[in-house]
């Protein structure tokens, strides 16, 4: 499986800043076929990003979607809209969507199902809060989030990637240790094998949470870690390129 290194810009960069970033980033890109590189800008930057990334081998993704194709859903963006812009991926159930915007497992499941049906690859984010880890609930929380999110699409886990992002590690500068990440990744892999024995190893399990150029290689040297989802450190093209080529 090709490993996936994804940039999640969150609510950062205007159109002109996006242009500037991508022109700089593409100068660092070599052998794009050796790993999958993905950039997820805000919706407003997708069009320009898609034009600039054409032919570069770098993939484009969105940070969220709604599960209906069209209709009276003010403020929402549908999967056909994203696909026409060239998005191949969409981040679903990011912890900021869950905890700031109140997305629950039921809504996240509807989005995952819609992604699978409509042919865009979801990166399903899961992860425990600090108090849940301290209470020894990490595996339980992650298992519940995955079972609910994948409900009805267990047969199609080959069309889905998962990002394990402990909430306490996101944007804090304090990552999980690679050993802690490997423990959870192995747990998720076993769960996926149970849910879909036919499609073993086709779902990539990414780690996310305070990944930086200085620690990326430490994560990527573990076989259980099939990629990275990078927030803060992806906002600078050189820093993101260092992470992409850290292994
Ligand atoms: P971070 O964010 O790299 O800034 O911790 C990761 C994420 O939220 O995907």
What is the C-alpha to C-alpha distance for residues 100 and 103, in angstroms, rounded to an integer? Answer: 8
Query: For 70-114, what is each residue's pLDDT tens digit?
Result: 999 999 999 999 999 999 999 999 999 999 999 999 999 999 999
What pTM, to 2 d.p., does this model score? 0.98
Which of ligand 1's atoms lies nearest the C-alpha of 170?
5
- Report which protein residue has its CA nearest ligand 1's atom 7: 231
CATH topology of domain 4-233: TIM Barrel (3.20.20)
Residue 102, judged by CB atoms within 10 A of its CB (0-12, 13-18, 19+), counts as: exposed
At residue 247, the pLDDT reads 93
Overall average pLDDT of the 205-224 stretch = 98
Residues with CB under 6 A from ligand 1: 8, 165, 170-171, 208-211, 229-233
Tell me the two tokens of residue 130. 């600090």
At residue 102, the pLDDT reads 97
- Report which protein residue has its CA nearest ligand 1's atom 3: 231
Residues designated catalytic: 94, 165
Distance 176 CA to ligand 1 centre (A): 12
Work out whether strand 87-92 and strand 36-40 pair parallel, antiparallel, or are unpaired: unpaired
Question: Would you say residue 200 has pLDDT above 90?
Answer: no
Among 246, 240, 241, CA closest to 8: 240
At residue 106, the pLDDT reads 98
Asked whether the beta carbons of 212 and 243 are under 8 A apart, the reply is yes
Which of ligand 1's atoms lies nearest the C-alpha of 95?
8
Distance 234 CA to ligand 1 centre (A): 9
At residue 1, the pLDDT reads 86
Which of ligand 1's atoms lies nearest the C-alpha of 91?
9
Query: For 118-146, what is each residue's pLDDT tens digit?
Result: 999 999 999 999 999 999 999 999 999 99
What is the C-alpha to C-alpha distance for residues 164 and 134, in angstroms, rounded to an integer? Answer: 17
At residue 34, the pLDDT reads 86
What is the C-alpha to C-alpha distance for residues 1 and 4, in angstroms, rounded to an integer? Answer: 9
Q: Over the chain, what is the mean pLDDT? A: 97
Distance 87 CA to ligand 1 centre (A): 20
Tell me the domain boundaries of the chain: 4-233
Distance 39 CA to ligand 1 centre (A): 13
């Amino acid at each position: 499986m090709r490993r996936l290194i994804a940039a999640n810009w969150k609510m950062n960069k205007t159109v002109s800043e996006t242009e500037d970033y991508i022109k700089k980033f593409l100068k660092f890109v070599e052998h794009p076929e050796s790993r999958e590189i993905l950039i997820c800008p805000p919706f407003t930057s997708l069009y320009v990003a898609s034009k600039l990334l054409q032919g570069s081998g770098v993939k484009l993704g969105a940070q969220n979607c709604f599960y209906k194709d069209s209709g009276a859903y003010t403020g929402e963006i549908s999967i056909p809209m994203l696909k026409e812009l060239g998005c191949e991926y969409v981040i679903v159930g990011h912890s900021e969507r869950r905890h700031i915007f109140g997305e629950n497992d039921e809504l996240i499941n509807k989005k995952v199902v819609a992604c699978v049906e409509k042919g865009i690859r979801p990166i399903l984010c899961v992860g425990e809060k600090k108090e849940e880890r301290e209470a020894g609930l990490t595996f339980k929380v992650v298992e519940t989030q995955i079972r609910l999110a994948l409900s009805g699409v267990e047969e199609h886990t080959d069309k889905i990637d998962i990002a394990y992002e402990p909430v306490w590690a996101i944007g804090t500068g304090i990552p999980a240790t690679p050993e802690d990440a490997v423990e959870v990744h192995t747990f998720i892999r076993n769960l996926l094998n149970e849910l879909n024995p036919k499609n073993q190893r086709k779902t990539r399990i990414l780690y996310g949470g305070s990944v930086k150029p200085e620690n990326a290689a430490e994560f990527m040297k573990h076989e259980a870690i099939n990629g990275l989802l990078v927030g803060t450190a992806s906002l600078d093209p050189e820093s993101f390129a260092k992470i992409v080529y850290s292994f």
